[in-house]
Amino acid sequence: MKYLFRHWAVISNRLKNSPFVLLGLDFDGTLTPIVKHPARAKLDPGVRALIKKVNLLERIQVAILSGRALKDLQRKVGLKNIAYSGNHGYEIQLPAQKARLLSTPAALRSIRRFHRRSQKAFSSIPGVFLEPKGATFTIHYRNVSARRVRQVKNIARELHGDFKNSLRLRFGKKAIGLRPAWPRTDKGRALKAILKKTGGRKILPVYIGDDATDEDVFRVIRWSGITIFVGQPEKKSRAEFYLKSPAEVARFIKRLMRLF
Ligand SMILES: [Mg+2]
């Protein structure tokens, strides 16, 4: 993995020579530092202003893709005319269009049932935070003591045993995600859909993310776009470049803006 600012000459050339750029951004851990409780995450007003400004440029469209529910994400970001995807791709809303939910009544029911079962199963473990989000469901364990983390994972796997046909289990940063087995989507597919709706092949996709679910996007645009991981460089990641922190992501966006 290459440190982005060390390769700025090559990257800036690619950006400058592109007729249009889709700037895809994850939210938690990418635009905002990770916090103890997801409800407390707050977008810095300076970063919000920056995103608004870059999105106003004629040759750039911003898209924010998150595991959060769409409404929650939009409230946190607080900007119009941006493409949004919530629930790991299960919800998409393009500028000036209606929100679309990719799910079925049966899938929504399975998520609700899993949530109810989890409430009971995790009630004895302090620090677990359960987040039902409609299309998907998350078990957060950032505040669980280290010696009980394994137990949390085991309970999740055990509960999932009864939902093998209807739900998929995904492990992320201090969180376990449950999503429908069908319909199937992820952030990578969501970005592809947004690309298509934004105008097709001449667009250069840029994507920045910090977590396991962002790898789905890196995989999709690895060869066609610019992929940027946030954090200490990880061998497992499919991203080509890395930035060290959300502060560096903001710095990158500022630099990008000066090119257009
Ligand atoms: Mg993230």
Residue length, the chain?
A: 260
* Distance from Cα 141 to the centre of ligand 1, integer Å: 15
26 and 148 housed in the same domain: no
The 10 Å CB-count burial string (b at 16+, else e) for 27-58 is bbbbbbebeeebeebebeeebbebbbebbeee
pLDDT in tens, 44-70: 999 999 999 999 999 999 999 999 999
More confident residue, 202 or 125: 125
Residue 239 corresponds to which amino acid? Answer: A
Q: Where are the beta strands (DSSP E) in 122-251?
A: 129-132, 137-140, 167-172, 175-180, 203-209, 226-230, 241-243
Q: In this model, does residue 202 exceed pLDDT 90?
A: no
Q: What is the count of structural domains for the chain?
A: 2
Average pLDDT over residues 221-247: 96
238 phi, psi to nearest 5 deg: -90, 0
| CATH code at position 11 | 3.40.50.1000
Q: Which pTM was predicted? A: 0.97
Return the biggest CA–CA distance within the chain: 56
Angle at CA of residue 231, ends 63 and 39, nearest 5°: 60
34 and 86 housed in the same domain: yes
Given pLDDT bands bounded at 50, 70 and 90, which one contains residue 199? confident
Residue pair 12/260 in contact (Cβ under 8 Å)? The answer is no
Question: Catalytic annotation on 44?
Answer: no
Q: In this model, does residue 201 exceed pLDDT 80?
A: no
Q: What is the mean pLDDT of the chain?
A: 97
* Distance from Cα 106 to the centre of ligand 1, integer Å: 28
126 and 138 housed in the same domain: yes
Q: In this model, does residue 78 exceed pLDDT 80?
A: yes
